[in-house]
Structure 1
Amino acid sequence: MLKKISVFLFSMIFILSIVPSISFANDISNHQMKFELTYFAEKGVILPDAKGNFNPNDPVTRGEFASYIARALELPDSTKYTFSDLKQGTREAQEIQNAAGANILGGYADGTFKPNQKITRQQMAGMLYNALRYLEVPLHQAPLTFKDNKKIHDSFVNAVSTSVYFNIIRGVHTDKGVYFNPGNSATKAHAAAYLFRALEVAKNADGNQSNEGNVDSSKYYIGKIKNGVVSKNPTIYTTYEQALAALNASGSLNLIFKGENIIKMSSGLAFASDTVAKTTSIYEDKSFKKQITYTQLGRELKYNGTSANGDYFIVQVGDVVGYAKPSAVNLIPTDLIEGRDEYYIEDSILVHRIYNHAKKEYEGKYNVGPAPKFMQSGAKYYSFDGVHFYNRNNSLVGTYFPYFQFASVRQPSSYTASDLDKIIMAELENRQAFGGAQYKDATTKSKLIGLGTILKSMEETENINALFILSAAIHESNYGMSTNAQTKNNLFGIKVYDSNESLGEKYATPADSVKAFVQRYMQERYVPQTAVYPFGAVPGNKATGINVYYASDPHWGAKIAGHMYKIDAKYGLKDYAKNRIGMVRTGTGTVNTRLEPSTNSSIAFTYRQKATGESQEFGYPVAIVEETIGTDGYVWYKAYSDDPSIAKFVWIRGDLVKVLPKN
Structure 2
Amino acid sequence: MKKLLLGFLVVLLALSTFTQETAKAADDLTGHAYEDEIRELMELGVIKGYDDGTIRPNREVTRAEFAKMVVQSFEFGADAESASVENAGFTAAATAAATMDFKDVFPEKWYYNDIATAVDAGIIKGYPNNIFKPNELINREQMATMVSRALTAKGIVINVSETPALNFTDTSTIRNEHKDDVRVLSHLEIITGNKDNTFRPKDSSERWMVALVMLRARDEVFPPQNLEFQASAVSADKTTVVKHFDTFAQAKDYAQNNAKVQAVERSNQILWMKQGIASTNAFTEIYPTDSLKAANGTFRPYVPANTELKFLDATATTVKVELAGEVGYVSSKVVRLIPELMQKGQSYYEASGSNMVHKIFNHATGSYASTGVIGKAPKEFVSGMKYYSWDGATFTNASGAKVVESHQYFNMLPLQSATSYTAAELDKYLQDKFPYYNQTLNGKKWTTSPLVGTGKFFKEMEKTYKINALYLMSHAIHESGWGVSKIAQDKFNLFGYGAVDGDAYNRAYSYATFRESIEDAATRINKGYQVPTGGFYNGSVLGNKGIGMNVRYASDAFWGEKIAGHMFRADAHLGNKDLNKHELGYTTTAPLNFRKDASTNFASIYTLKTAGVPVIINNETKASNGALWYEVASEDKAFTKAYVHGSYIKMLPLAQ
Shift of 1:512: 1.6
1:315 matched to 2:321 = yes
Q: How does 1:154-193 map to 2 (within 5 A)?
A: none
Distance 2:601 2:585 in 1: 23
1:425 matched to 2:431 = yes
Asked if the contact 1:598/1:632 (under 8 Å) is kept, the reply is no
Which residue identity does 1:221 align to in structure 2?
Q
Which one of the candidate residues 523, 528, 533 is aligned to 1:530? 533
For 1:472, what is the secondary structure of its paired residue? helix
Distance 2:332 2:593 in 1: 40
Which residue identity does 1:312 align to in structure 2?
T
Distance 2:422 2:314 in 1: 53
1:622 matched to 2:622 = no
Shift of 1:215: 12
Which residue identity does 1:566 align to in structure 2?
R
Change (3 A) 1:518 1:215: farther
1:257 matched to 2:262 = no
Stretches of structure 1 lacking an aligned partner (at least 5 in a row)? 1-176, 178-212, 613-618
Change (3 A) 1:391 1:436: farther
Asked if the contact 1:582/1:657 (under 8 Å) is kept, the reply is yes
Change (3 A) 1:287 1:268: same
Which residue identity does 1:344 align to in structure 2?
E
Which one of the candidate residues 625, 636, 641 is aligned to 1:649? 641
Residue in 1 that maps onto 2:241: 232
Which residue identity does 1:427 align to in structure 2?
K
Distance 1:493 1:425 in 2: 22
Residue in 1 that maps onto 2:377: 371
Change (3 A) 1:635 1:222: same
1:394 matched to 2:386 = no
Distance 2:351 2:408 in 1: 14
Distance 1:495 1:259 in 2: 40
For 1:392, what is the secondary structure of its paired residue? coil
Distance 1:470 1:221 in 2: 53
Change (3 A) 1:512 1:651: same
Distance 1:317 1:512 in 2: 35
Distance 1:287 1:438 in 2: 46
Q: What whole-Å deviation, never above 9, does each CA across 1:603-652 have from its counterpart, x for those lacking one?
A: 211111x3x5xxxxxx111111222212231222122111112x011111
Which residue identity does 2:291 align to in structure 1?
S
Q: What whole-Å deviation, never above 9, does each CA across 1:202-261 have from its counterpart, x for those lacking one?
A: xxxxxxxxxxx9998x9322211146542124x654542343355456553221112121
Change (3 A) 1:523 1:373: same
Change (3 A) 1:442 1:355: same
Asked if the contact 2:371/2:562 (under 8 Å) is kept, the reply is no
Shift of 1:360: 2.3
1:635 matched to 2:633 = no
Q: What whole-Å deviation, never above 9, does each CA across 1:138-172 have from its counterpart, x for those lacking one?
A: xxxxxxxxxxxxxxxxxxxxxxxxxxxxxxxxxxx
For 2:410, what is the secondary structure of its paired residue? helix
Change (3 A) 1:236 1:497: farther
Change (3 A) 1:440 1:390: farther
Change (3 A) 1:462 1:499: same
1:268 matched to 2:289 = no
Residue in 2 that maps onto 1:297: 305
Residue in 1 that maps onto 2:81: none
Q: What whole-Å deviation, never above 9, does each CA across 1:158-192 have from its counterpart, x for those lacking one?
A: xxxxxxxxxxxxxxxxxxx9xxxxxxxxxxxxxxx
Residue in 1 that maps onto 2:191: none
CA RMSD of aligned residues (A): 2.5
Change (3 A) 1:495 1:639: same
Which one of the candidate residues 650, 656, 659 is aligned to 2:651? 659
For 2:301, what is the secondary structure of its paired residue? strand
Q: What whole-Å deviation, never above 9, does each CA across 1:9-46 have from its counterpart, x for those lacking one?
A: xxxxxxxxxxxxxxxxxxxxxxxxxxxxxxxxxxxxxx
Which residue identity does 1:626 align to in structure 2?
N
Residue in 1 that maps onto 2:249: 241
Q: How does 1:210-225 map to 2 (within 5 A)?
A: 219-225=228-234
For 1:406, what is the secondary structure of its paired residue? coil
Which residue identity does 1:559 align to in structure 2?
K
For 2:382, what is the secondary structure of its paired residue? coil
1:466 matched to 2:469 = yes
Asked if the contact 2:527/2:534 (under 8 Å) is kept, the reply is yes
Asked if the contact 2:442/2:486 (under 8 Å) is kept, the reply is no
Shift of 1:525: 1.5
Residue in 1 that maps onto 2:165: none
Residue in 1 that maps onto 2:356: 350
Asked if the contact 1:439/1:481 (under 8 Å) is kept, the reply is no
For 1:550, what is the secondary structure of its paired residue? coil
Residue in 1 that maps onto 2:597: 596
Q: What whole-Å deviation, never above 9, does each CA across 1:70-98 have from its counterpart, x for those lacking one?
A: xxxxxxxxxxxxxxxxxxxxxxxxxxxxx
Asked if the contact 2:426/2:455 (under 8 Å) is kept, the reply is yes
Asked if the contact 1:495/1:505 (under 8 Å) is kept, the reply is yes
Residue in 2 that maps onto 1:567: 570
Which residue identity does 2:631 align to in structure 1?
K
Which residue identity does 1:475 align to in structure 2?
H
Change (3 A) 1:624 1:220: same
Which residue identity does 1:462 align to in structure 2?
Y
Distance 1:419 1:489 in 2: 22
Comparing 410-419 with 263-272, which one deviates more in the overlay?
410-419
Residue in 1 that maps onto 2:389: 383
Which residue identity does 1:254 align to in structure 2?
Q
Which residue identity does 2:647 align to in structure 1?
D
For 2:619, what is the secondary structure of its paired residue? strand
Distance 1:300 1:341 in 2: 8
Distance 2:433 2:449 in 1: 13
Distance 1:365 1:460 in 2: 30
Residue in 2 that maps onto 1:288: 292
Distance 1:243 1:598 in 2: 58
Change (3 A) 1:266 1:286: same
Moved over 6 A (4+): 213-216
For this pair of structures, how many residues does the alignment match?
A: 430
TM-score (norm 2): 0.62
Identity of aligned residues (%): 34
TM-score (norm 1): 0.61
Shift of 1:592: 0.8
Shift of 1:303: 0.3
For 1:516, what is the secondary structure of its paired residue? helix
Which residue identity does 2:266 align to in structure 1?
K
Shift of 1:441: 4.2
Asked if the contact 1:596/1:650 (under 8 Å) is kept, the reply is yes
Asked if the contact 2:319/2:329 (under 8 Å) is kept, the reply is yes
Distance 2:326 2:363 in 1: 20
Shift of 1:596: 1.5
For 2:327, what is the secondary structure of its paired residue? strand
Asked if the contact 2:429/2:573 (under 8 Å) is kept, the reply is no
Asked if the contact 1:432/1:439 (under 8 Å) is kept, the reply is no
Asked if the contact 1:292/1:322 (under 8 Å) is kept, the reply is no
Asked if the contact 1:462/1:519 (under 8 Å) is kept, the reply is yes
Change (3 A) 1:418 1:247: closer
Which residue identity does 1:456 align to in structure 2?
K
Change (3 A) 1:286 1:568: same
Q: Which has the larger radius of gyration?
A: 2
Which one of the candidate residues 309, 321, 330 is aligned to 1:324? 330
1:578 matched to 2:571 = no
For 1:315, what is the secondary structure of its paired residue? strand
Shift of 1:298: 0.2
